Amino acid sequence: MNIYPNYILDFFLPRFCPGCNKKLSAEENAVCDSCLRSIPIVDDKRIQIEFDKNFKSTRIINEFYSKYIFQADSSLQHIIHALKYNRQFKLGIFLGQILGEELKSRGWEIDIIIPVPIHHLRKAERGYNQSDYIAKGLGNSLNITFSNKYISRIRHTPSQTGLNQKERAQNVSNAFKVKNAKKIKGKNILLVDDVCTTGATLLECGIVLRKAGAGSVYASSIAVAN
């Protein structure tokens, strides 16, 4: 990585880590090394537990992977909040690239990366979907096409915060629709979201993709809720 431009840019417009608000060095990209090291990483045992609990019985999602553990009032929460609400799009690309590097070793055969969509009213309010940028980073890392044009959120659902697993599943039931089934028929899809809590949203997206003729459907997220 050529860090020389960062020295120049940082002199005029210093960059700050969204996790701890400390000034980033020229060698650091989007998040400081200290914050990255402080974020708990999900081990394979936890990933298997999450898959078995949230996806296995339905046989919709083939495999699941997440990089980090999401904890309240942590560096990662501040980072995702900055991406989600403060228009720090580079954070999404940065996190997506990290996730992509991890997925390279898992041997998944993916044709298309699809970010979990948000409803058009919420997108109009916020101005963007944070998962689009995570998907872009994933696509850059894996050299795979990503698109937000194959599935839409057709029902404006309340926030999932505070709901249990059953309530979350009911909340997102029939909330998604495939827009161009011909484009995804027989394709292996990688779904991506920012944080996976019960997997209800990823699962519901997987259901409509499978009904539309998708081949394998894989799911991923930056973090799983602790």
Residue 213: left if φ>0, alpha if ψ -120 to 50, beta else—which one? left
Number of domains in the chain: 2
192 lies in the same domain as 218: yes
45 lies in the same domain as 14: no
133 lies in the same domain as 213: yes
51 lies in the same domain as 147: yes
What pLDDT, on a 0 to 100 scale, did the predictor assign at position 10? 60
Give phi and psi for 56, each to the nearest 5: -55, -45
Degrees to nearest 5, angle at CA 66 with 181 and 225: 105
108 lies in the same domain as 158: yes
118 lies in the same domain as 130: yes
What pLDDT, on a 0 to 100 scale, did the predictor assign at position 158? 65
Q: What is the CATH number of the domain that holds 209?
A: 3.40.50.2020
Domain that holds residue 158: 40-225
167 lies in the same domain as 56: yes
**Strand 151-153 relative to strand 145-146, pairing:** unpaired
Read off the DSSP letter of residue 206.
H
Sequence-separated (6 or more) residues with CB below 8 Å from residue 48: none
What pLDDT, on a 0 to 100 scale, did the predictor assign at position 94? 97
- 3-class secondary structure, 66: strand
Q: Alpha-carbon dihedral of residues 100, 105, 109, 111, nearest 10 degrees?
A: 20
Q: What is the CA radius of gyration of the chain?
A: 17
167 lies in the same domain as 146: yes
What pLDDT, on a 0 to 100 scale, did the predictor assign at position 22? 95
Which residues on adjacent β-strands are paired with residue 113? 146, 190
Structure tokens at 7: 């020295």
What pLDDT, on a 0 to 100 scale, did the predictor assign at position 160? 74
92 lies in the same domain as 183: yes
The span from the CA of 199 to the CA of 154, in Å, is: 19
79 lies in the same domain as 147: yes
Mean pLDDT by 10 residues, the chain (226 residues): 57 87 92 97 97 96 98 96 95 97 96 96 92 98 96 83 75 88 96 96 97 97 95
Please name which of 132, 137, 197 lies closest in space to residue 165, comparing C-alpha atoms.
197
Instruction: Please tell me whether the overall predicted TM-score, pTM, comes out greater than 0.85 for this model.
Output: yes
What pLDDT, on a 0 to 100 scale, did the predictor assign at position 183? 93
17 lies in the same domain as 111: no
Q: How many residues does the chain have?
A: 226
218 lies in the same domain as 118: yes
Structure tokens at 182: 């011909």
Degrees to nearest 5, angle at CA 38 with 108 and 53: 45
Please name which of 59, 71, 158, 176 lies closest in space to residue 116, comparing C-alpha atoms.
176
Are 223 and 80 a contacting pair, CB within 8 Å? Answer: yes
